Amino acid sequence: MVGLMDNDFQWPVRVYYEDTDAGGVVFYANYLKFYERARTEMLRDMGFEQDQLIKQDAVIFVVRSVQVDYLKPAKFNDLISVTAGLSLVKSASLNFEQTITRGDDLLSKAKIRIACLDANSMRPKHIPEQLKRALNYE
């Protein structure tokens, strides 16, 4: 599949009417929702729930920066696949490279930097060690 690395997490998405504009094309901001959900599902698949990370480790993850390329439109009722792959893990941030495909067609690609913050102070905080180990970055 286009843009897919061996270790990328894949999440299937059905495009609903509510995701589209009047022309039946996915509204550009909704691609960000698809990317967000794939990252969340990747963590869940690894055994990490974000609400538990808040309670146990007092950490939250926030988007620091986004670069998105829109290459082809996704449309109402399409079955698309959203990937989430890590390109860099630092002490308090994660860099993701993500794609959205429909079959072999690359629809969108994104580079998204996520910051790890202390849930109380909203200041940068080290990624919990158990998560770094699960990500194979120590």
Return the domain boundaries, the chain: 9-134
| CATH-assigned architecture of domain 9-134 | Roll (3.10)
Beta strands in the chain (DSSP E): 9-14, 59-70, 79-89, 93-102, 105-118
Measured at the CA of 119, the angle between CA 118 and CA 122, to 5 degrees, comes to 60
- Integer distance in angstroms from the first to the last C-alpha of the chain? 29
Q: Give me the pLDDT at residue 136, please.
A: 81
Please identify every residue annotated as catalytic.
21
Q: pLDDT by residue for the chain (138 residues), tens digit each?
A: 344 445 699 999 999 999 999 999 999 999 999 999 999 999 999 999 999 999 999 999 999 999 999 999 999 999 999 999 999 999 999 999 999 999 999 999 999 999 999 999 999 999 999 999 998 865
> Letter for the amino acid at 27?
F
Residue length, the chain? 138
> Residues near 89 by Cβ (< 8 Å), separated by ≥ 6?
95, 127, 132, 135, 137
Exposure string of 97-111, with b = 16+ CB inside 10 Å and e = fewer, is bbbbbbeeebbbbbe
Whole-prediction pTM:
0.91
Nearest C-alpha neighbor of 82 from the set 38, 137, 40, 26: 38
> Helix, strand, coil: what percent of the chain each, to 5?
25, 40, 35
